[in-house]
């Protein structure tokens, strides 16, 4: 999802009536907001469970995807930038922080390598979905509104799944 949106972000925003200069400012702002999200999430991992943080991050991401096709004003764009930046920053931290906590230090390199490989493979699919959707419908809206509920389901799953070794975990 994020690779498709990342690749076609300028075109998606242009579809909503935003020019290239606005896109550049949006990109710079979301990068700074993502850093704030990373720092906040890193701090919160010491206080909240990773499942809760991931659930919140995925919920924010799903909300951002769902509202993107509705953006019409600069104020709405900056709200979207905040949602997408915070959630993206949080997801990045959680992706790299979870493996040792979930599986321990043994075979950590292999586990992270496999996870990273799957991430790269999944990243190849996102741009295809966006390109195909635009080719078939002339818009990116269908892709966004189809993928937003999928991300929302991942948010619900994150709240419900236990980490290995925690109470309620099936072994």
pLDDT for 171 equals 40
* 3 state DSSP class of 58: helix
Dist. CA 70–CA 100, nearest whole Å = 39
pLDDT for 162 equals 86
pLDDT for 167 equals 56
Q: What is the CATH number of domain 2-160?
A: 1.20.1250.20
Inter-residue contact 163 to 169 (CB < 8 Å): yes
Angle ∠(83,87,90) on CA atoms, nearest 5: 150
pLDDT for 165 equals 67
Inter-residue contact 13 to 22 (CB < 8 Å): yes
DSSP symbols for 71-133: --SHHHHHHHHHHHHHHHHHHHHHHHHHHHHHH-STTHHHHHHHHHHHHHHHHHHHHHHHHHH
Full-model pTM: 0.89
Dist. CA 103–CA 111, nearest whole Å = 8
Q: What share of the chain is helix, strand, coil (3-state, %, to 5)?
A: 80, 0, 20
Work out the number of other CB atoms within 10 angstroms of the CB of residue 123. Answer: 15
pLDDT in tens, the chain (171 residues): 788 888 899 999 999 999 999 999 999 999 999 999 999 999 999 999 999 999 999 999 999 999 999 999 999 999 999 999 999 999 999 999 988 888 888 888 898 999 999 999 989 999 999 999 999 999 999 999 999 999 999 999 999 998 876 655 444
Total count of residues recorded for the chain: 171
Q: pLDDT, tens digit, for every residue of 63-75?
A: 999 999 999 999 9
Inter-residue contact 100 to 108 (CB < 8 Å): yes
């Amino acid at each position: 999802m994020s690779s498709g949106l990342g690749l076609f972000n300028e075109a998606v925003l242009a579809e909503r009536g935003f020019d290239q200069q606005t896109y550049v400012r949006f990109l710079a702002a979301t990068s700074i907001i993502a850093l704030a999200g990373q720092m906040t999430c890193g701090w919160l991992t010491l206080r909240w469970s990773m499942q809760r943080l991931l659930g919140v991050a995925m919920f924010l991401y799903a909300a951002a995807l769902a509202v993107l096709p509705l953006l019409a004003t600069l104020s709405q764009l900056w709200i979207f930038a905040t949602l997408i930046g915070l959630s993206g920053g949080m997801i990045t931290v959680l992706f790299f922080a979870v493996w040792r906590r979930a599986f321990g230090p043994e075979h950590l390199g292999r586990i992270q390598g496999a996870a990273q490989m799957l991430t790269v493979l999944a990243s190849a699919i996102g741009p295809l979905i966006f390109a195909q959707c635009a080719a078939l419908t002339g818009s990116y809206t269908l892709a966004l509104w189809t993928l937003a509920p999928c991300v929302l389901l991942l948010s619900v799953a994150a709240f419900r799944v236990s980490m290995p070794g925690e109470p309620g975990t099936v072994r």
